[in-house]
Amino acid sequence: MDEGATQAVEWGDWLTLPNPLGLHARPAAILVAQAKKFKSDIRLWRGDKEVNAKSVVSIMGLETQKGDSLRFKAAGLDAAQAIQVLSDLLLQGSGESLQELPQAQHRPLQDAGMPAHQASQLLTYGHSLTGVSASPGLTVGRLFQFRKASNVVLEWADPSALEKSVVHERAHLTKALQVATAQIQTIMASKNQSAEHAILHSHVQLMQDPDLWGLALQQIDLGKTAAFGWQSACTLQAQNFLNASSALLRDRANDVRDVGQRVLDVLLGVSSAAIDLPYPCILVTDELTPSDTVALDRSKLLGFCTVGGGATSHVAILARSYGVPAVCGIDPHALDLLSGSWAVLHGTQGLLFDSPTDLQLSAARSQMDLLQAQNQSDQLAAKTNAVTLDGQRIEVAANVRNAQDTHEALALGADGVGLLRSEFLFEGRMDAPGEDEQAQAYQDVAKALGLTRALVIRTLDIGGDKPLAYLPMAKEDNPFLGLRGVRVSLDQPPLFRSQLRAILSAARYSQLHIMFPMIATLEELQEAKSILAQEQSLLDAPPVAVGIMVEVPSAALLASRLAQEVDFFSIGSNDLTQYTLAMDRGHPKLAHKADSLHPAVLKMVALTCEGAQQHGKWVGVCGAMASDVLAVPVLLGMGVRELSVSVPAIASVKACINRLDLATCQALAKEVVEMGSASEVRKRLLKFMEN
């Protein structure tokens, strides 16, 4: 603190942390960004532990959980204001959607590119070593063991000239940071995947963390070398993460080691060479960093397993985006297997089979051929329209956040965009995007699609459970039942109107559809439509299709009336499930029971379709249910004609539709909707898919 000890010290009130996963990287980064705007020294307290509120790693290291009591303490000229702003931000979720869970915890396997019927098969190829599934798929190949060489790091700089050495080592560390940052930026420029970009970007932030630097500088000031100071700071910080009880935080230790190694290599003047894969192989190593992974020669990478890491690690995210099977947290005996020996890696099951017999190898190869043939025919199916055996065309669109997602979706065969979640433009930032910025973003997506494809833009879907840092809203006892979705828009007309104008600007580039989220009453819909009509007439904008998300039971029950007011419905099965079953979709103990295939939810879908049919309107589904191949026949049988799915699911959903017969689906839908439980429905559907 450089403001001096005489300045006021302010304490904030104890606050209850609302974030379901505590202050992990993203909310911590938002708090830190805000804290850095103040000059005061700011600390965040949990119990009797305090950390620097301007350091992401330190906040993450507090290992907070939902419901924890936290408070801020600040010392400096702007202390009182800092406490006020940060306390409000923390109570609103620190810019985080309060229902989000990390993908790996709740994403069904088929969402990662593996159809459910493949994922459910349990196969064995001999003696197995167990780990955690990080990326699905099956591969056969020779193992390649890789160990990192350790660098020799001198502890002491020049003990005879402490002052000089401190200045020199500090400058050395600063320079190394600049070089390492430039290295990452060069790698980013050569990569075009959004997963790679996001991870590398977070590494740049991590390298600049003031607490990490503070720890290193403390050592340097004692006369140690920059390399020693930096290495011990990173080791300590990684250890803090490793001691965390949350898997998400433990997985971040690897990111600290990764940036630590990169800067250390620069300090020591050694090149951080990529791992050289000598032949097409299954890579086995104690730990892979995201930087190692990004630099691997993918033409020789059949799959990999690591002793460290978990399903939520950045390395796992990269493996999934590359489509290679991967197992993390593998039994350390894997490190004793011989390089060059044959093995079978089952990413889906999280198993490595060592020393398979010839018979087992050929069984694994046949299974791979089968899966590959299935995938290839799925990919082929993705290039053409999805049509049932009895000739019904079904639109398979994609759920996207931006133009980049849209390009990826189109390349994978999407027919259009069935859900543009516009809130992605508003989240994770400290101020609202301006109208021009929004217009540009919507137009970019529209231009990517062109005039022949549909673009469904959902208006802002935020609220009590998905707060925005810059949109103060009163605390609610039941945020899921409070100001959410269209209710926020109606409560904040200037925000709503400016978003509508920005959306309308995309009308001339694609087949624009505007969709209102969380409609629960006829009045809400009429009010939203009337504001839209006013903006259209002020702009002299062309008419556009208008629809609603059906995600509240009242909307499903009122479907036949609401259908008279709209051009289409899109069923938000995620919310429709949570509201029908009264089960919080993000609740750790309930989320797995909140099954969209519950007959009560299916009845809501059926009602929606019946209501729409009465007035000749089309129904789509854009919740996760649309991406579940098990659910597809039931949805088609009920009358759904558009499925808006996650990008990796496009091919398998299209292929699934091509194998279905609508009349059979209708009979199946009638049968399952009368069942008593989700498990009964699932059993029946699995049997249906096997035939």
Q: Which residues are catalytic?
A: 314, 622
Which CB sits closer to ligand PEP, 42 or 604? 604
Quick one: which segment of 63-71, 118-126, 291-299, 570-578 binds Mg ion (CB under 5 A)?
Answer: 570-578
Cα–Cα distance for residue pair 432/421, rounded to 1 Å? 15
Contact assessment for residue 172 and residue 220, using Cβ atoms and an 8 Å cutoff: no
Q: Which does 111 bind (CB under 5 to 8 A by kind): Mg ion, ligand PEP, none?
A: none
Q: Nearest approach, Cβ of 646 to ligand PEP (angstroms)? A: 10
Sign, CA dihedral 123-129-135-139, equals: negative
Q: Nearest approach, Cβ of 508 to Mg ion (angstroms)? A: 29
Q: Nearest approach, Cβ of 153 to Mg ion (angstroms)? A: 51
Task: State the burial class of residue 189 (Cβ atoms within 10 Å of its Cβ: 0-12, 13-18, 19+).
Answer: exposed
Cα–Cα distance for residue pair 461/337, rounded to 1 Å? 51
Which CB sits closer to ligand PEP, 196 or 551? 551
Site map for Mg ion, 509-548, x if CB under 5 A? ----------------------------------------
Q: Which does 498 bind (CB under 5 to 8 A by kind): ligand PEP, Mg ion, none?
A: none
> Degrees (nearest 5) of the Cα angle 436, 438, 442?
120
Applying CB under 5 A, does 423 fall inside the site for Mg ion? Answer: no
Q: Which does 184 bind (CB under 5 to 8 A by kind): Mg ion, ligand PEP, none?
A: none
Applying CB under 5 A, does 111 fall inside the site for Mg ion? Answer: no
Amino acid at 159: P
Quick one: which segment of 82-90, 293-301, 424-432, 574-582 binds Mg ion (CB under 5 A)?
Answer: 574-582
Q: Which of 321, 381, 377, 402 is nearest to 134 (CA)?
A: 321
Q: Report the residue closest to Mg ion, judged by CB.
A: 575
Q: Which does 622 bind (CB under 5 to 8 A by kind): Mg ion, ligand PEP, none?
A: ligand PEP
- If one counts every other C-beta atom within 10 angstroms of the C-beta of residue 254, the result is 24
Give the bridge partners for 16, in sequence order. 69
Cα–Cα distance for residue pair 404/495, rounded to 1 Å? 25
Q: Nearest approach, Cβ of 627 to ligand PEP (angstroms)? A: 11
Q: Nearest approach, Cβ of 481 to ligand PEP (angstroms)? A: 14
Quick one: which segment of 38-46, 106-114, 462-470, 550-558 binds Mg ion (CB under 5 A)?
Answer: 550-558
Q: Nearest approach, Cβ of 551 to Mg ion (angstroms)? A: 5
Applying CB under 5 A, does 572 fall inside the site for Mg ion? Answer: yes
Q: Nearest approach, Cβ of 427 to Mg ion (angstroms)? A: 14
Contact assessment for residue 125 and residue 361, using Cβ atoms and an 8 Å cutoff: yes
> In sequence order, what are the residues at sequence separation of 6 or more whose Cβ sits closer than 8 angstroms to the Cβ of residue 291?
184, 187, 203, 258, 261, 262, 272
Tokens 């993450």 sit at which residue? 60
Which CB sits closer to ligand PEP, 258 or 461? 461
Applying CB under 5 A, does 418 fall inside the site for Mg ion? Answer: no
Amino acid at 75: A
Which CB sits closer to ligand PEP, 558 or 662? 558
Tokens 């995938």 sit at which residue? 375
Q: Which does 265 bind (CB under 5 to 8 A by kind): ligand PEP, Mg ion, none?
A: none
Which CB sits closer to ligand PEP, 308 or 623? 623
Reported in sequence order, the residue ranges of 517-645 that DSSP labels E, i.e. its strands, are: 545-550, 568-571, 618-621, 642-645
Q: Which of 611, 665, 609, 624 is nearest to 392 (CA)?
A: 665
Applying CB under 5 A, does 575 fall inside the site for Mg ion? Answer: yes
Q: Nearest approach, Cβ of 574 to ligand PEP (angstroms)? A: 3
Which CB sits closer to ligand PEP, 18 or 310? 18
**H helices of 161-193, where?**
162-189
Q: Which of 219, 213, 212, 226 is nearest to 153 (CA)?
A: 226
The values of phi and psi at residue 266, to 5°, are -65, -45
Q: Nearest approach, Cβ of 518 to ligand PEP (angstroms)? A: 8
Applying CB under 5 A, does 137 fall inside the site for Mg ion? Answer: no
Quick one: which segment of 392-400, 426-434, 489-497, 569-577 binds Mg ion (CB under 5 A)?
Answer: 569-577
Which CB sits closer to Mg ion, 465 or 535? 465
Contact assessment for residue 564 and residue 531, using Cβ atoms and an 8 Å cutoff: no
CA distances to 1, 60, 103, 401 from 398, rounded to whole Å, are: 50, 34, 17, 10
Q: Which does 665 bind (CB under 5 to 8 A by kind): Mg ion, ligand PEP, none?
A: none
Which CB sits closer to ligand PEP, 73 or 421? 421
Binding site for ligand PEP (CB under 6 A): 421, 461, 551, 572-575, 622-623
Helix axis angle, 522-539 relative to 493-504, nearest 10°?
60
Helix axis angle, 314-322 relative to 247-268, nearest 10°?
90
Contact assessment for residue 454 and residue 486, using Cβ atoms and an 8 Å cutoff: no
Which CB sits closer to Mg ion, 137 or 572? 572
Q: Nearest approach, Cβ of 426 to ligand PEP (angstroms)? A: 13
Q: Which does 468 bind (CB under 5 to 8 A by kind): ligand PEP, Mg ion, none?
A: none
Contact assessment for residue 418 and residue 398, using Cβ atoms and an 8 Å cutoff: yes
Which CB sits closer to Mg ion, 42 or 549? 549
Q: Which does 421 bind (CB under 5 to 8 A by kind): ligand PEP, Mg ion, none?
A: ligand PEP
The residues binding Mg ion (CB under 5 A) are 551, 572, 575
